[in-house]
Structure 1
């Protein structure tokens, strides 16, 4: 599924033309109670009808992220949360309220007559499932410059939010990649990917809203006194406000033989395509049971001639999803003939004719390998900040407060590089490399750049796809002491609730929609889910479909 619109997009200004409308009776007024929703059809077009605060509303039913049916999601107050990846939309306006989606939904007119509910759709917008929020452009004579270092999720959402909030100055996004911002979450899931199909926005979009994008350009140093950034081509750019969001890069193995051919790390679409090509019909060894490592192993199960995974812990995801789910994911891949060597590590890579031939493990095992893929985690791209006044942690992440400010005025940081206070974890300083959190942080940066004081309060939400099954996760489970399970691991249909200090701090689910979104929404509204509620047999609060 690509993030590009399947049937065109409309902008806010398009949807206000009251030209020909298609109106149909969709239900009786009594069919929906307050706080309920359902999918209805108008002109063979799916519409989400909701009733909230006594008011009927109608918006598009397909999530603008990957097209999930929102009617199968979770409704709470004035918003609906997508069952698949946690995007949120206002039920009255269709406006996006939480990422990873980036577009709003079309909003339709509703009226009630003789106890019947009528929905009217503008024929012109019938086929359009996405709506771009109204955005301004640069205003001649406004010289205020916002410089965005990095071309990922945080930079893009920062740029878009600035324009949505009518910032009229100059916006420059600088990336060392040769591509416009793209959906990185796809790389380990669909590896033979065409770069064009995963772009978040096309060049016309950046032109239309006066967002300059400089490709193939890397920052070498930042002078926060002079407010300048020096780049690798010798150019210097001054800024009024700066966002640092240059992310992280893959860590290599520190062992002999790492310079041999056919050793791969996944960072770009080109890497993904090369891995796909090199692994087809080959003996593949994968080091690391991270989300990326396991997804790549899963993707290759029907392509490589053999796959061996080497992990340093006892189970995959031991410290994130926990050993129980780790064991299940391992079983799912073992059923597809993936071999695991856990509690082990690589000590040497041996080659012949400059290419990998075998991998030597600490345990003494020697494994034949034609391709070696390394997925053992990441390191921050922050070397260029070493001589600046920007405060970093001992591991070279950039420290920010809940407004995403660094210690230096007018300098912000977001995305995988940021060490930030997480609201739902009692403002504990953490670093998480989630796509949706990077997007949320970029938005918070933009608002605070414009002095619209806003705190980061998003709840982490991510997902991983293994052998065609999606495990969803929300919250922050580190330090959990107990696991409450609904459903059955054996049936591959479950919800795991992570408990700490007698309350739920995170949840993971498989084939249990929209339960993970329900937990995310509860965490987001600050309503505690007690251990007693988690253990109760009453599951009505999860709105299971």
Structure 2
């Protein structure tokens, strides 16, 4: 389709825009055609108006002084000048359009297809020009997606091989507990054709060992794969309970949730018949999400050890907001509760029939779901003398997610990586505070960082590459959409709760001394996104400023465009 000029409604002149102002404009002549127009650093830009992740309106996004615009929902970030992806979880770039003034109006130049599409695949077609170079990635989750996408965006010329024990291509795992999706194709990030076009080999197999000296991985099927760079992104293994009735093989209808097969098994056990009694053990985000999803058709009880859901991470007041949200949807809670055992159903001694709490309470259960956390999936490395696992089973890495002692040839990302966090509250005098974070965005952003490191290390020492900073972000569906950024790596000692918490509309500032180390929001977007950007640049207001009434959304915004 030929490039054409299209007049924009809602704006008559560049002079109508103030610095860093954003305006979503209708495109004349294209039904439902819209673009985002913004002024940055003296120039006017026109780009697609919706985030390529979940379609958030970028007019509510955050513009940063270093030329980034960040989605108001989940932290996806784009380069204003090019539209390229800067940070996860955006799979595609934004389309950019020439924008100019003519005859007393503002126009863009582009194709109707590009305007309607609203995004572009940054990996169009790749060929392997350096077959002697090969990146092998073990695992098929978010970290892997970050690695492969960024490698090809950066024109890595070597081979790329993914080895994953999961039988499907990379999926949006965040939707499993929120929406209980049973069809992998519906939440697959990329179709198989994309991998073929991007010259990425995908292998369904399980890695059983690594020879770090010979630079080769071995698999359960008996195959071996040489590498020049290795990325370990194996994710987590759901924890179980070492209690009577919960041990493997003792009772049926006790489930964990990690993959598509787990969702299929849970929904099969719940069945289409009368509402089932479901007990979810663990008031974690996974536990609350799956409990909330099942509560539409079944009787759900969530058992938690704390006084409020997620009390240790979120605090009692915020945890109680989650609890009230889910109770409105019919979920019951047993809190300050410990589990002692599970017993069989009278009608079927092979299947679970009840969960017994330590105080003597008996909860009838047709099925049980365990949401008690995950451990790093590193069992295949436990007997390997070339690496030393941390106490929790993770691998310690440097700021580039490179595993020390292996000549910058091996990287670890996601649930299995303990890396030096350098955000607010971290010990910067020690180069950062070691932390392991089980967030989708952290895995993907660390994967993107690894790709950048691999491409750089082809021509220069990795030590010469400044690490790219990112702030951890996660989101959850706990009766309403929760957004969270930062990490209280060394704890917090106070929570400032603003807004209308009684109506599940709030912003919570988690403070250690005067430093705001994390921010959570519900119904107050894009405060979280703005806070994450301020944290990344070291400009986040302190506790005293928050108490004195500073508006985080207006920090750094020119007076002329403040709301």
Aligning the two structures, in what range does the TM-score lie when normalised by the shorter sequence?
over 0.9
C-alpha deviations, 1:264-285, integer Å up to 9, x for none? Answer: 1101122123323433510000
Cα 1:486–1:173 shift into 2, 3 Å: same
Distance 2:438 2:95 in 1: 31
Report deviation, 1:538: 4.0
Question: How is 1:477-492 mapped onto 2 (pairs within 5 angstroms)?
Answer: 477-478=488-489, 479-492=491-504
Count of aligned pairs between the two proteins: 526
Secondary structure in 1 aligned to 2:444? helix
Task: Mark the CA change 1:192 to 1:229 in structure 2 (over 3 Å): closer, same or farther.
Answer: closer
Equivalent residues in 2 for 1:24-423, closer than 5 Å: 24=8, 26-27=10-11, 28-42=13-27, 43=30, 44-77=32-65, 78-113=67-102, 116-134=105-123, 137-140=126-129, 142-215=131-204, 217-258=205-246, 259-279=250-270, 281-304=275-298, 306-352=299-345, 353=348, 354-388=350-384, 389-407=386-404, 408-409=406-407, 410-423=409-422
Q: Per the alignment, in what secondary structure is the counterpart of residue 273 of structure 1?
A: helix
Question: C-alpha displacement at 1:249, in angstroms?
Answer: 1.1
Where 2:24 maps in the other structure, the secondary structure is: strand
Paired residue secondary structure (1:187): helix
Tell me if structure 1 keeps the 8 A contact 2:492–2:512.
yes
TM-score, normalised with respect to structure 2? 0.90
- Return the match for 1:458 from 463, 466, 470: 470
**Distance in 1 (alpha carbons) for counterparts of 2:251 and 2:134:** 44
Deviations 1:503-537 (A, max 9, x none): 21110001111111110111112213122221233
Contact 2:282 2:371 in 1 (8 A): yes
2:554 alignment counterpart: 541
Separation in 2, partners of 1:115, 1:498: 50
Q: Distance in 1 between matches of 2:123 and 2:367?
A: 48
Deviation at 1:263, TM superposition (A): 0.7
Secondary structure of the 1:329 match is helix
Number of the residue aligned with 2:460: none
1:10 alignment partner in structure 2: none
SS of the residue aligned with 2:63? Answer: strand
Match of 1:437 in 2: 442
Q: Secondary structure at the match of 1:189?
A: helix
> Do 2:48 and 2:115's aligned partners in 1 also have CA atoms closer than 8 Å?
no
CA contact (8 A) 1:73 1:81 kept: yes
After superposing the two structures, state which structure 1 stretch, 188-197 or 272-281, moved more.
Answer: 272-281
Question: Conserved in 1, the CA contact under 8 Å of 2:7 and 2:105?
Answer: no
Report the CA distance shift for 1:463/1:225 in structure 2 as closer, same or farther (over 3 A): same
Q: Which string of whole-angstrom CA distances, capped at 9 and with x for unpartnered residues, describes residues 11-68 of structure 1?
A: xxxxxx7633433354132321001101111133121110011111010011000011
**Structure 1 residues 116-175: Cα deviation after superposition (integer angstroms, max 9, x where no partner):** 432233123232122111456233562211110001111122122222222221111000
Query: SS of 2:398's equivalent?
Result: coil
Deviations along 1:279-331, one digit per CA (max 9) or x if unpaired, are: 35100001001110010111112111x11111111211112122111011112
Q: Is the 8 A contact 2:3 2:110 kept in 1?
A: no
What CA deviation, in whole Å up to 9, does each residue of 1:477-522 have, x standing for no partner?
Answer: 3411111222121122111111113121110001111111110111
What is the rounded CA distance, in whole Å, between the counterparts of 2:154 and 2:549 in structure 1? 46
Corresponding residue SS for 2:186: helix
Q: What is the CA-CA distance between 1:456 and the residue it aligns to?
A: 4.3
| CA contact 1:80–1:91 (8 Å) conserved in 2 | yes
Structure 1 pair 538–169 and aligned structure 2 pair: CA distance change class (3 A): closer
Shift of 1:335: 2.5
Deviation at 1:392, TM superposition (A): 1.6
> Quick one: distance in 1 between partners of 2:120 and 2:60?
21
- How far apart in 2 are the matches of 1:56 and 1:362? 64
Aligned-partner SS, 2:470: coil
SS state at 2:342 partner: strand
19 and 73 in structure 1: CA distance in 2 versus 1, 3 angstrom threshold: closer
- Following the alignment from structure 2 to structure 1, what is the Cα–Cα distance between the partners of residues 109 and 224? 54
- The offset of 1:176, in angstroms, is 0.3
Question: CA-to-partner distance for each residue in 1:176-215, whole Å, 9 max, x for gaps?
Answer: 0001011100001111442111001110000011100001
Q: Is the 8 A contact 1:58 1:92 kept in 2?
A: no
Q: 8 Å contact 1:191–1:275 — kept in the other structure?
A: no
Question: In structure 2, what is the Cα distance between the partners aligned to 1:511 and 1:24?
Answer: 31
The DSSP-based 3-state class of the residue aligned with 1:324 is helix
Give the RMSD, CA atoms, in angstroms.
Answer: 1.8
Determine if contact 1:251/1:377 at 8 Å carries over to the other structure: yes
Asked whether the equivalents of residues 474 and 506 of structure 1 are also in contact (C-alpha less than 8 Å), the reply is yes
Q: Secondary structure at the match of 2:245?
A: coil
TM-score normalised to structure 1 length: 0.93
Q: Which runs of 5+ in 1 are unaligned?
A: 1-16
Aligned equivalent of 1:474, options 475, 480, 485: 485
Q: How far apart in 1 are the matches of 2:181 and 2:160?
A: 33
